[in-house]
């Protein structure tokens, strides 16, 4: 049984589950991991739905409207007061939205390349789900030994580099979707989208190098997200590497195809962008993939720059350990991620989209040089620091 | 061009921090945040109704005068003037016992097809008796085409009473 399954086991025992239920075997470890994986996927898919709600609500607020506020269900409406509040918050709206997508007739246009047309939405969604296994959601500190275990499915050595590699496969969903649609607007949208996603990936990864350098001082595996977060027990990286944070955030917006960089689906000039020809469930997959990317992007930003599941700078756990500390970690992570999502949505409803030439100019002439200069500056600084001051 | 009052302004090149876009985006975000914190301006329509101003041109209706007499004399002017031909009138006699027999005519049937009506108000303008009036009702819906044709009963129901200050028919009866 590996450290993660061991950690899960200890958490469950901490909750008071008796030892008879949890024999200390490899099978138990596997089962626990499987359950954890299912829970994580379900939770993040649920978050997707509610991110859409957050988007709709924020859009409404930014435009002086109320947003979804009357959709309800008999059972929920019956709860006094709470039911009213939930209805007003649009709590049921995501379910209604999803249900609508499921219940529509599923069109398959005549002129498309059927195989790739059906493959594209899956390709858009799958990488986003796969990368979830690499995310440490929080840590468990053993109260007796003080040892920290990450709550993550697989703590691979390449860490976030692997994550970036997988999540950039998402661009195939865009490319194939636009190409298989055999129609000019989706095609234009997907060409632009892929050009944009590929150009911003460079700055995205370069912006992380300083963070890795900072982490290298405290850990022997600075690529792992877990060590990156653990390295932020003192100052958060946003204070140590503010320029990186800004560059990373801008590149992230472009990677997620969010305004002001939503080239692949700019409604004004390419109708619906690469998914113009998609409807119902397949469109739903694209849509979910997009929001999953948004959530993953926010989680990564929080991990890299906002101290992950740490509550406050210099007070990572507020003195809590064991199960309580784990819960506090999850709550902190969720709060920070919701904040990041809100900021991303807020930007969307504030700024218009860039022209395509502007997108390319910003990417290659502005962001990339800054990212390189930033990385080099940190290299030089750490080089001098390591050789001269130590 | 020279005679017109046009001033050509040359666009200033962006300064370096403007080229970064970030200050502008932040300023914009401040504005949207301000709006987010304001009270929403939405009128929750089916639950809250807007205030209809006086003189609003809603659904055309037929009205009665203060004595409960139907004002329309079935002259059919409105039927002729109606641009999309939404009005259909079947003229009829007035019951000789009713006390209004000197008016001679009233509509036996009066239909306005609300799928055709364009709310132009021509009928109201042309009516010599001020009998047809576009009033405050604006929300109109039905389950069938025939359900969207307002018959006489419905028209009077919608119209109600508008008092007649001139009372020319009373004067004529006395004369
Ligand atoms: S409002 Fe215009 S269109 Fe409607 S019934 Fe009167 S004249 Fe006809
Ligand atoms: S509503 Fe007016 S215009 Fe139309 S038939 Fe009656 S009296 Fe004549």
% of chain A exceeding 70 in pLDDT: 93
Residue B19 DSSP SS3: helix
Q: How far apart are CA A385 and CA B23, in angstroms?
A: 33
- Quick one: pLDDT at residue B124? 94
Among candidates A253, A263, A236, which has minimal Cα distance to A332? A236
Per-residue pLDDT of A138-164, as tens digits, reads: 777 777 776 777 777 777 777 788 888
Kindly indicate the confidence band of residue A186, based on its pLDDT and cuts at 50, 70 and 90: confident
CA of A299 to the centre of ligand 1 (A): 61
Size (chain B), residues:
175
CB pairs under 8 A between A and B: 41
Q: How deeply is A101 buried, as exposed, middle or buried, from its count of CB atoms within 10 A (0-12, 13-18, 19+)?
A: middle
From A164's Cα to the closest Cα of chain B, the distance in A is 25
- Using the structure block, give the residue that is written with the tokens 């950039």: A168
- Domain edges within chain A: 109-389
- Quick one: pLDDT at residue A3? 64
Which region among A30-34, B93-97, B108-112 has the lowest average model confidence (pLDDT)? A30-34
Return the residue whose CA atom lies nearest to atom 2 of ligand 1. Answer: B120
Ligand 2 binding pocket (C-beta < 6 A) is B 72-78, 89, 126-127, 129, 131-132
What mean pLDDT do residues A88-107 have? 82
Among partner residues A64, A66, A366, which is closest to B35 by beta-carbon distance? A64
- Mutation to test the B interface, candidates A55, A57, A60, A62, most B Cβ within 10 Å: A62
Torsion over CA: A284, A287, A288, A289 (sign): positive
Residues pairing with B70 in the sheet: B64
CA of B164 to the centre of ligand 1 (A): 22
Contact: B35, A366; criterion CB under 8 Å: no
Q: Which 326-355 residues of chain A touch chain B by CB within 8 A?
A: 346-347, 349-351
Chain B hits for A347, Cβ within 8 Å: 25, 29
Q: Is A318 left (phi over 0), alpha (psi -120 to 50) or beta?
A: left
Per-residue pLDDT of A59-79, as tens digits, reads: 999 998 888 888 878 777 777
Tell me the whole-structure pTM to 2 decimals: 0.81
Return the residue whose CA atom lies nearest to atom 3 of ligand 1. Answer: B117
Return the CATH architecture of domain B60-167. Answer: 2-Layer Sandwich (3.30)
ipTM comes to: 0.78
- Quick one: pLDDT at residue A248? 92
Pocket test for ligand 1, best of B79, B83, B123, B155 (most atoms within 8 A of CB): B123
- Domain edges within chain B: 60-167
From B143's Cα to the closest Cα of chain A, the distance in A is 24
Spatial contact of B107 and B146, defined as CB atoms under 8 Å apart: no
Helices (H), B42-164: 77-81, 122-126, 152-159
SS3 annotation, chain A: CCHHHHHHHHHHHHCCCCCCCCCCCHHHHHHHHHHHHHHHHHHHHHHHHHHHHHHHHHHHHHCCCCCCCCCCCHHHHHCCCHHHHHHHHCCCHHHHHHHHHHHCCCCCCCCCCHHHHHHHHHHHHHHHHHHHHHCCCCEEECCCCCCEEECCCCCCCCCHHHHHHHHCCHHHHHHHHHHHCCCHHHHHHHHHHHHHHHHHHHHHHHHHHHHHHHHHCCCCCCCCHHHHHHCCCCCCHHHHCHHHHHHHHHHHHHHCCCCCCCHHHCHHHHCCHHHCCCCHHHHHHHHHHHHHHHHHHHHHHHHHHCCCCCCECCECCCCCCHHHHHHHHHHHHHHHHHHHHHHHHHHHCCCCCCCHHHHHHHHHHHHHHHHHHHHHHHHHHHHHHHHHCC
CA of B89 to the centre of ligand 1 (A): 13
Q: Is the minimum CB–CB distance between A119 and chain B shorter than 8 Å?
A: no
Residue in chain A closest to B25 (alpha carbons) equals A351
Average pLDDT, chain A: 82
């Amino acid at each position: 049984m590996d450290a993660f399954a061991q950690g899960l086991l200890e958490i469950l025992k901490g909750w008071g589950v008796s030892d008879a239920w949890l024999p200390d075997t490899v099978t138990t470890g596997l089962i626990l991991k499987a359950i954890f994986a299912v829970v994580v996927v379900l939770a993040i898919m649920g978050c997707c739905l509610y991110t859409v709600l957050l988007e709709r609500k924020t859009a409404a607020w930014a435009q002086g409207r109320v947003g979804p506020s009357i959709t309800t269900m008999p059972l929920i409406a019956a709860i006094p007061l709470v039911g009213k509040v939930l209805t007003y918050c649009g709590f049921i709206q995501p379910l209604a939205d999803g249900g609508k997508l499921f219940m529509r007739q599923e069109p398959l246009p005549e002129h498309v390349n059927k195989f790739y047309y059906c493959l594209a939405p899956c390709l858009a969604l799958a990488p986003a789900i796969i990368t979830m296994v690499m995310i440490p959601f929080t840590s468990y500190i053993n109260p007796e030994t003080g040892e920290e275990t990450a709550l993550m499915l697989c703590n691979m050595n390449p860490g976030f580099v692997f994550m970036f590699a997988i999540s950039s496969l998402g661009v195939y969903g865009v490319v194939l979707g636009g190409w298989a649609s055999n129609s000019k607007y989706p095609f234009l949208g997907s060409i632009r989208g892929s050009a944009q996603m590929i150009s911003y990936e460079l700055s995205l990864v370069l912006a992380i190098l300083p963070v890795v350098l900072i982490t290298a001082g405290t850990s022997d595996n600075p690529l792992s997200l877990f060590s990156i977060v653990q390295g932020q027990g003192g100052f958060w990286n946003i204070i140590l590497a503010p320029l990186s944070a800004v560059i990373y955030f801008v590149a992230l917006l472009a990677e997620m195809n969010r305004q002001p960089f939503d080239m692949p689906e700019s409604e004004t000039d390419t109708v619906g962008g690469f998914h113009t020809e998609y409807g119902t469930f397949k469109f739903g997959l694209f849509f979910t993939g997009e929001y999953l990317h948004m959530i993953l992007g926010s989680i990564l930003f929080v991990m890299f720059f906002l101290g992950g599941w740490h509550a406050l700078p210099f007070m990572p756990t507020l003195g809590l350990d064991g199960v309580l500390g784990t819960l506090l970690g999850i709550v902190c992570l969720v709060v920070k991620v919701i904040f990041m999502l809100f900021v991303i949505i807020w930007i969307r409803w504030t700024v218009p989209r860039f022209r395509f030439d502007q997108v390319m100019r910003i990417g290659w002439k502005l962001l990339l040089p800054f990212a390189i200069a930033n990385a080099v500056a940190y290299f030089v600084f750490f080089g001098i620091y390591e050789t001269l001051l130590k | 061009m020279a005679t017109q009052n046009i001033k050509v302004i040359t666009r200033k090149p962006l300064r370096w921090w403007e080229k970064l876009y970030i200050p502008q985006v932040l300023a914009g975000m401040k504005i949207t945040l301000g709006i987010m914190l304001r009270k929403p301006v939405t009128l929750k329509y089916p639950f809250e109704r807007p205030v209809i101003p006086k003189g609003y041109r809603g659904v055309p209706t037929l009205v009665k005068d203060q004595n409960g007499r139907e004002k329309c004399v079935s002259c059919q002017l409105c039927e002729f003037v109606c641009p999309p031909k939404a009005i259909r009138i079947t003229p009829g006699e007035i019951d000789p016992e009713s006390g209004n027999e000197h008016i001679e005519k009233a509509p036996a049937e009066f239909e306005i097809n609300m799928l055709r009506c364009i709310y132009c108000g021509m009928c109201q303008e042309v009516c010599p008796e001020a009998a047809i009036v576009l009033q405050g009702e604006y929300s109109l819906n039905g389950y069938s085409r025939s359900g969207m044709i307002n018959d006489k009963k419905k028209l009077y129901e919608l119209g109600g009473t508008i008092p007649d200050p001139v009372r020319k028919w009373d004067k004529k009866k006395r004369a």
